[in-house]
């Protein structure tokens, strides 16, 4: 179902700059009872459903026909038409074998591509299956749960911890509301919201009076007025940018189209030259002569065009896709496998891609020292490591117990594990970090049994802290206030400090040291939180924050980080070894981005970090220069990511872009290959991407690069083989026609005779090309493909050296085949005594054997065919099968009739084998000479 796009937001001014009541008045909203059912229905009709405009999926028949849109396919369709015309001119007797076989190849290619891309689409759909999101609203004065798609501007939205925000909305009230906006902004930390209007316009990440569609509430509660739905939301704005982003063809698609155009021109030129030669040398007397000329044109088209190429290319890519699927990478477009192998730059988001998106306590600093807590993520396994030469003494351990248990008490998150499942949190990830660290020390059960909550003072932006009042059941029910918050604010409220099991005076020297510790942790891009407490006096008021949060006992500070994925560092090192530049583009804080980049090896610690605001000040030349030099970007908006990708492409790079949030989608679509995260990625991101990582593992990208490079090498192998084989066929026909008198290739009445029949050429292409070429498409890598730099965008799949090999080996094949025909024909250079059919059969067989020998030398441009000769059992199987089929077409009587062949004697078979092997020895001589040139 297509959604109705709202041309303008219902609130024309920025609602974050207005008072909440003014926004509600402009929307005609009732702040107590909400909208009526009737009014909500009217607005739903006016503004449309609260959904992003979905991409219209073309019908299956259009997707099937799309498989036939290439120059090579058009050329083969032309050959089918010519073959049918020739068959009809000859009287239409029997079956038009040439036309039917070429058509079968075309249908096979189209079906393979259609089936494989349909499988990818189904895999993507399976990844995207999710339950419908619900929202709580006030309707008719009653709280209701409705599908978020039915939200309308003016709805009174009720938000609680754990809710998904269903639409863009202006806050009316908020109690300790924190919203995780990473999917929209890239910011890893939950954002504290405040209903107070802003005094100046701000980027999305800093619009504290607003909540946005697609984000999630991790703490607190709120009431808000819906200001925009569907395509009018901030997420909709990104979706519009996505629609406007042009999707470029992959380098492989561009190169195959170029090859098709070149072959098309070559076919037309060769056909015209040969047909002109016939018309000049012969007299066209009747319709049969016309049919003869047309059949020759078909023969040349069939000889010049590797009609198996589209099907083989599709199969090789499909096999690569299957191998990638087994490694958790779902490829939506076949050509994208090879594109990733050509990538020169990988632009990666940080949160959830390079990092685990699981806040973890990394360091703890107390009066007695500092420790490092190992282990990352929500899995509560790890140890406490002290500084070198120190021990985890009783005093330090006592302080740690209070810091971690106190931080766990002063929060509302929960840490759970279902049977056999991974650990997960409910609530603020930062609060969950205390729960995980506490479990690592084995303190959780004791703390839960000892304390009972009796009150809470929520977090506010003014105080920058929150407190809970706990009853200490081990000390006669004594009440204790436990506070967690920004260390600089918390230290000001403390007059004592915990030292081991004792409490000491928190003098200026100790405070200065505590503040220096906070500064040091912050400089390392760690988020810092302090913990303090004090026992309450009997009769103290429990709801006055100012009175309770004073004269506290400071315990210590923790440094928290969203840890990088361990496998990401290894993958990045492998990418650098392969000559691939890795860039981080994130919406997070610059210092955090710099630290993670340094930890992962993306850039050295002293490397510059550019922010979105700084990028906005640069003109186009300065922007392009910055992109060449800087690898870490922070606080960027979606448009910045798109500009960075475009600048890299303009500089000649093949760009892979990874991401999981909606804000990544436009850049993913613009990149040469967009890679979405399958677990944490949004549906918009998955739709925009060409590849989806089902395991969200950055290391899978490097595995895909390796796979792509191996596929590209194999594509070059079978292209070298196919084109040289087809060149051999073209030159055999061309030189056979032009030099017919020299080799005695004429009938008794002087009429022109073709060295090969059209059906024989078609047999060669189907039998000797398809099997060996497909086997070369799965050839194991014979060298470390990650030890060389990526190929340049302007580098051709078929370069000058390959064309030289194609022409040289094609000429060797043609000469060997025509000399064999001459050996057995009367007249010519050699005086033979065999019939035309038998001589043609011998030449036909030599050409088949020459191509089979060529498939071994085509595996490398310079390495001898005798190295790694037996590593590809599929190639040996294909060659053996092709040779047996050639024996059958020569020796079996029914096939003799169909293909115009005659049986050969044993000595004739030996001659054919020897003549066919000349291409192998010629190739070995050429490679030896090339290696000598390199040494010199």
Positions marked active-site: 349
Q: Which residues pair with 499 in a beta bridge?
A: 502
- Residue labelled with tokens 């351990």: 397
Q: CB within 8 A of 497, min separation 6: which ones?
A: 367, 503, 504, 505, 506, 510, 514, 553, 554, 555
How deeply is 645 buried, as exposed, middle or buried, from its count of CB atoms within 10 A (0-12, 13-18, 19+)? Answer: buried
Both tokens of residue 67?
């498989």
Q: State the sign of the Cα–Cα–Cα–Cα dihedral 911, 914, 919, 921.
A: negative
Q: Specify the pLDDT at position 59.
A: 76
Cα separation, 242 vs 665, whole angstroms: 7
Question: How far is Cα of residue 675 from the mean position of the Cα atoms in its chain?
Answer: 2
Q: Are 220 and 411 in contact (CB under 8 A)?
A: no
Cα separation, 848 vs 866, whole angstroms: 20
- Residue labelled with tokens 């009042």: 469
Cα separation, 764 vs 848, whole angstroms: 6
CA dihedral 184, 187, 189, 194 (to 10 degrees): -60
Angle at 26 between CA 22 and CA 29, to 5 degrees: 90
* CB-CB neighbours of 342 under 10 Å: 23
For the chain, the C-alpha Rg in angstroms (whole number) is 37
Q: Specify the pLDDT at position 787.
A: 82
Q: Specify the pLDDT at position 8.
A: 40
Q: Specify the pLDDT at position 109.
A: 62
Burial profile 733-761: b = 16 or more Cβ within 10 angstroms, e = fewer: bbbbbeebeebbbbeeeeebebbbbbbbb
Both tokens of residue 907?
């000595």
From residue 572, give the alpha-carbon distance in Å to each of 186, 568, 599, 610, 864.
Answer: 20, 6, 11, 21, 34
Condensed to tens digits (0 to 9), the pLDDT of residues 433-471 reads 999 999 888 888 888 889 999 888 888 777 888 899 999
Max Cα-Cα span within the chain: 127
Cα separation, 54 vs 30, whole angstroms: 32
DSSP 164: B
Q: Specify the pLDDT at position 5.
A: 38
Which helix or strand (DSSP H or E) is residue 481 part of? Answer: strand 478-485
Q: What is the 3-state secondary structure (H, E, C) of 57-68?
A: CCCHHHHHHHHH
Cα separation, 319 vs 334, whole angstroms: 10
DSSP codes, 266-287 = HHHHHHHHHHHHHHHHS---SH
Which helix or strand (DSSP H or E) is residue 808 part of? Answer: helix 800-824
Cα separation, 503 vs 372, whole angstroms: 24
Cα separation, 75 vs 423, whole angstroms: 58
Condensed to tens digits (0 to 9), the pLDDT of residues 70-123 reads 666 776 777 677 767 767 766 677 777 667 766 776 777 677 667 756 654 554
Cα separation, 588 vs 351, whole angstroms: 8
Cα separation, 472 vs 447, whole angstroms: 10
Pairing, β 691-693 against β 673-677: parallel
Angle at 169 between CA 165 and CA 172, to 5 degrees: 110
500's torsion region: left (phi>0), alpha (psi -120 to 50) or beta?
A: left
| Total residues belonging to the chain | 936
Instruction: Report, as ranges of residue numbers, the positions in the chain whose pLDDT lies below 50.
Output: 1-9, 120, 123-132
- Residue labelled with tokens 């315990």: 555
* CB-CB neighbours of 32 under 10 Å: 8
Q: Specify the pLDDT at position 3.
A: 33
Burial profile 771-803: b = 16 or more Cβ within 10 angstroms, e = fewer: bbbbbbbbbeeeeebbeeebbebeeebbeeebb
Which helix or strand (DSSP H or E) is residue 417 part of? Answer: strand 414-417
| 470-477 CB contacts, 8 Å cutoff, 24+ apart | 470/409, 473/449, 474/450
Backbone φ, ψ for residue 526 (5° rounding): -95, 135
Cα separation, 774 vs 636, whole angstroms: 46
DSSP 357: S
Which helix or strand (DSSP H or E) is residue 553 part of? Answer: strand 552-561
Pairing, β 345-348 against β 581-585: parallel
- Residue labelled with tokens 């995980």: 436
Q: Are 754 and 836 in contact (CB under 8 A)?
A: no
* Helical spans, DSSP H, in 524-603: 545-548, 566-577, 590-600
Both tokens of residue 553?
């006992």
How deeply is 329 buried, as exposed, middle or buried, from its count of CB atoms within 10 A (0-12, 13-18, 19+)? Answer: buried
Residue 708: which of 330, 336, 344 has the closest Cα?
336
DSSP 564: B
* CB-CB neighbours of 94 under 10 Å: 8
Both tokens of residue 581?
């530049």
Which helix or strand (DSSP H or E) is residue 709 part of? Answer: helix 698-738
Classify 499 as helix, strand or coil. Answer: strand
């Amino acid at each position: 179902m297509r959604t109705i796009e709202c041309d303008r937001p219902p609130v024309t001014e920025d609602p974050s700059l207005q008072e909440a009541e003014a926004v509600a008045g402009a929307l005609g909203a009732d702040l107590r009872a909400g909208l009526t059912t009737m009014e909500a229905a009217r607005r739903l009709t006016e503004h449309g459903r609260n959904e992003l405009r979905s991409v219209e999926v073309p019908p299956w028949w259009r997707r099937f026909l799309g498989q036939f849109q290439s120059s090579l396919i058009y050329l083969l369709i032309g050959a089918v038409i010519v073959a049918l015309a020739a068959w009809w001119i000859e009287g239409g007797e029997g079956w038009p074998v040439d036309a039917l076989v070429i058509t079968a190849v075309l249908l096979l290619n189209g079906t393979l591509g259609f089936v494989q891309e349909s499988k990818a689409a189904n895999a993507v759909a399976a990844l995207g299956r999710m339950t419908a999101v619900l929202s709580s609203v006030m309707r008719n004065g009653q709280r209701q749960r409705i599908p978020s798609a039915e939200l309308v501007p003016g709805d009174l939205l009720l938000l609680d911890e754990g809710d998904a925000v269903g639409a863009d909305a202006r806050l009316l009230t908020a109690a300790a509301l924190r919203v995780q906006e990473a999917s929209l902004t890239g910011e890893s930390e939950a954002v504290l919201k405040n209903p107070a209007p802003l005094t100046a316009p701000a980027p999305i990440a800093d619009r504290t009076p607003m909540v946005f569609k697609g984000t999630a509430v991790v703490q607190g509660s709120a009431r808000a007025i819906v200001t925009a739905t569907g395509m009018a939301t901030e997420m909709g704005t990104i979706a519009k940018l996505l629609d406007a982003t042009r999707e470029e063809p992959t380098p492989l698609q561009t190169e195959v189209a170029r090859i098709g155009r070149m072959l098309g021109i070559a076919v037309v030129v060769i056909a015209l030259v040969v047909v002109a030669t016939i018309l000049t040398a012969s007299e066209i007397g009747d319709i049969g002569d016309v049919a003869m000329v047309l059949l020759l044109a078909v023969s040349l088209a069939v000889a010049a065009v590797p009609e198996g190429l589209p099907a083989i290319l599709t199969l090789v890519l499909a096999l690569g896709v299957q191998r990638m699927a087994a490694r958790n990478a779902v490829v939506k477009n076949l050509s994208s496998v090879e594109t990733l192998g050509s990538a020169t730059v990988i632009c990666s988001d940080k949160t959830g891609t390079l990092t685990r998106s699981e806040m973890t306590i990394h360091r703890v600093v107390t009066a007695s020292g500092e420790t490092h807590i190992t282990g990352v993520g929500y899995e509560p396994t790890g140890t406490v490591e002290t500084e070198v030469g120190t021990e985890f003494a009783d005093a330090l351990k006592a302080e740690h117990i209070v810091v971690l248990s106190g931080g766990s008490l002063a929060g509302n998150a929960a840490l759970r594990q279902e049977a056999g499942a991974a650990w997960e949190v409910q609530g603020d990830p930062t609060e969950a970090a205390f729960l995980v660290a506490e479990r690592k020390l084995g303190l959780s059960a004791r703390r839960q049994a000892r304390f009972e909550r009796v009150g809470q003072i929520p977090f506010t932006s003014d105080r920058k802290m929150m407190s809970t009042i706990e009853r200490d059941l081990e000390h006669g029910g004594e009440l204790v206030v436990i506070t967690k918050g920004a260390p600089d604010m918390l230290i000001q409220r403390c007059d004592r400090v915990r030292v081991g099991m004792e409490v000491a005076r928190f003098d200026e020297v100790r405070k200065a040291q505590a503040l220096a510790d906070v500064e040091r942790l912050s400089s390392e891009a760690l988020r810092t939180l302090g913990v303090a407490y004090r026992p309450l006096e009997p009769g103290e008021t429990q709801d006055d924050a100012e009175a309770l949060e004073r004269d506290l006992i400071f315990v210590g500070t923790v440094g928290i980080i969203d840890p990088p994925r361990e496998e990401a560092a290894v993958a990045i090192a492998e990418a650098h070894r392969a000559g691939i530049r890795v860039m981080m583009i994130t919406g997070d804080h610059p210092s955090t981005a710099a630290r993670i980049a340094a930890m992962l090896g993306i850039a050295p610690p002293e490397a510059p970090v550019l922010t979105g605001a700084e990028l906005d000040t640069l003109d186009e030349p300065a922007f392009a220069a910055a992109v060449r030099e800087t690898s870490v970007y922070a606080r960027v908006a979606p448009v910045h990511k798109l500009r960075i990708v475009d600048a890299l492409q303009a500089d000649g790079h093949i760009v892979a872009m990874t991401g999981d949030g909606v804000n990544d989608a436009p850049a993913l679509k613009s990149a040469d290959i967009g890679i979405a995260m399958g677990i944490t990625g949004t549906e918009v991101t998955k739709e925009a991407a060409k590849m989806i990582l089902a395991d969200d593992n950055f290391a899978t990208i490097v595995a895909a690069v390796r796979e792509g490079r191996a596929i590209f090498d194999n594509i070059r192998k079978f292209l070298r083989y196919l084109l040289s084989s087809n060149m051999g066929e073209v030159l055999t026909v061309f030189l056979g026609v032009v030099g017919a008198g020299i080799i005695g290739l004429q009938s008794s009445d002087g009429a022109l005779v073709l060295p090969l029949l059209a059906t024989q050429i078609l047999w060669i292409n189907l039998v000797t090309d398809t099997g060996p070429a497909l086997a070369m498409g799965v050839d194991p890598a014979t060298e470390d493909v990650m030890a060389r730099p990526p190929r340049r965008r302007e580098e051709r799949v078929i370069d000058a050296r390959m064309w030289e090999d194609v022409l040289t080996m094609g000429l060797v094949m043609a000469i060997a085949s025509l000399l064999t025909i001459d050996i057995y024909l009367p007249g010519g250079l050699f005086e033979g005594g065999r019939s035309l059919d038998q001589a043609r059969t011998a030449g036909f067989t030599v050409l088949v054997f020459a191509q089979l020998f060529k498939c071994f030398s085509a595996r490398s441009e310079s390495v001898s065919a005798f190295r790694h000769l037996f590593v590809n059992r599929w190639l040996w199987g294909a060659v053996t099968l092709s040779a047996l089929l050639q024996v059958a077409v020569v020796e079996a009587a029914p096939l003799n009739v169909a293909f115009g062949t005659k049986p050969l004697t044993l000595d004739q078979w030996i001659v054919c084998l020897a003549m066919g092997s000349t291409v192998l020895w010629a190739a070995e001589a050429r490679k030896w000479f090339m290696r000598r040139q390199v040494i010199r």
